[in-house]
Amino acid sequence: MIQILRSVCLVVIIFWTLGAHAQNRPMDPQWPVKPMKMLLGYPPGGGSDIVARLIARGLTDRLGQNVLVENHPGAGGIIATDMAAKASPDGYTLFFVPSGHASIAALRKKGLTFDPVNDFTWISTVTTYPLALTVAPDSKFKNLEEFIQSAKKEPGKYSYSSVGVGTALHTLGEWIFSEAKVDVLHVPFKGGTQPFQELIAGRVDVMIDTMTLTATLLKDKRVRALAVTSPKGASPVAGVQTVADLLPNVSFESWLGVAAPANIHPELLERLNREINLVVNQPDVKQRLIDFGGKPQGSSPNEFKSRVVKDISSLSMVVDSRRITLD
């Protein structure tokens, strides 16, 4: 037993020493001297991918080296997340991370091969955007309050869709209807256009999705918004209430940001944070992010990390109280 304890202590000391050494070694003044990769846990063509490539192009122009987006979809983004956590902290591997990271961490408290907070360096957010609760154009519901009142009168009759069990959309739906004390059926899909098609066909009553995907549908009047999950009084959609206007405890903004493996050099972190914030504030990039239904928003590393920790905590309470599982 004593020998085992000595071995464990030795391993801990070695890893601590390596981490400290990584922090203390001089930064290469020529960085970057080769192409960089930006890992993403979702397939090409989606909202996260489009924004990741927008930021990667901006970094390529500023750094003078190609920043290549590598898509590694699967397991709700966990495959790419695990790769990022285990990558070298040399500044050549970045991780484009969506707020779904927090819902995965909340849902899978055990069994992850990485620490969802401490195995990463949180560089900067890129954009924030609310979720939207929408209905078909001919729906009888004009706002969220009307929907909730009907759901109270007829428990279990109405439904809402998300892009999968355990996603941020699912968790937020459960949070909203738990606070409202109503029984609304969750109907999960695998993404794509199916939630919209089922909404229009009348087979689900409410669709919950991100503004990055909903903005165009609203603009084209193919859906109507009941509410958005922005902070109280801060709806980005004219004439549409926030969920917090009705349920003050419910406020959530999704985000996209850039992280890296833990223990990158402090000077490298400072440089990456500065460059990403400069890219986000370029007029053309800023306008593209607004067009996607988001709010361009860089941050400091500490602000980004605090947001991640807060969201994991909030969503964990919903997962526990509503007994959400992947089964």
| pLDDT at residue number 75 | 81
**Residue 202: which CATH number?**
3.40.190.10
Please tell me whether residues 264 and 293 are part of one structural domain: yes
Alpha-carbon span 120 to 55, nearest angstrom:
19
Chain length of the chain: 327
Please tell me whether residues 60 and 123 are part of one structural domain: yes
DSSP state of 123: E
Neighbours of 251 (CB within 10 A): 17
Which of residues 246, 273, 300 is at a domain's end? Answer: 246
* Residue 290 domain-assigned (yes or no): yes
Please tell me whether residues 91 and 104 are part of one structural domain: yes
Residues 209, 140, 165, CA angle at the centre, nearest 5°?
30
Please tell me whether residues 233 and 149 are part of one structural domain: yes
The H or E element that residue 120 is part of is: strand 120-135
**Residue 81: which CATH number?**
3.40.190.150
> Which residues lie below 8 Å from residue 179, measured CB to CB, with a gap of 6+?
247, 249, 250
Q: Are 297 and 277 in contact (CB under 8 A)?
A: no
| pLDDT at residue number 20 | 46
Please tell me whether residues 266 and 235 are part of one structural domain: no
Alpha-carbon span 70 to 199, nearest angstrom:
33
Q: Which range marks the domain in which residue 216 is found?
A: 130-246
* Residue 4 domain-assigned (yes or no): no
Please tell me whether residues 36 and 101 are part of one structural domain: yes
**pLDDT tens string 270-296:** 999 999 999 999 999 999 999 888 899
Average pLDDT value for residue range 221-243:
93
Work out the percent of the chain whose per-residue pLDDT is above 70. Answer: 92
Please tell me whether residues 145 and 234 are part of one structural domain: yes
Number of domains in the chain: 2
* Residue 5 domain-assigned (yes or no): no
Token readout for 10 is 């030795």
* Residue 280 domain-assigned (yes or no): yes
Alpha-carbon span 198 to 207, nearest angstrom:
9
Half-sphere exposure for 136 (CA within 13 Å, toward CB): 16
Please tell me whether residues 153 and 66 are part of one structural domain: no
Alpha-carbon span 305 to 18, nearest angstrom:
23
* Residue 183, strand partner residues: none
Please tell me whether residues 141 and 225 are part of one structural domain: yes
| 297 alpha carbon, distance to own chain's centre | 14
Alpha-carbon span 190 to 162, nearest angstrom:
8
Please tell me whether residues 149 and 118 are part of one structural domain: no
Half-sphere exposure for 160 (CA within 13 Å, toward CB): 26
| pLDDT at residue number 291 | 86
Which of residues 212, 246, 280 is at a domain's end? Answer: 246
Alpha-carbon span 124 to 305, nearest angstrom:
9
* Residue 178 domain-assigned (yes or no): yes
| pLDDT at residue number 25 | 62
Which of residues 231, 246, 261 is at a domain's end? Answer: 246
Please tell me whether residues 123 and 134 are part of one structural domain: no
3-class DSSP state for residue 212? helix
| 258 alpha carbon, distance to own chain's centre | 11
**pLDDT tens string 38-88:** 999 988 887 889 999 999 999 999 999 999 999 998 887 899 999 999 999
Alpha-carbon span 29 to 249, nearest angstrom:
48
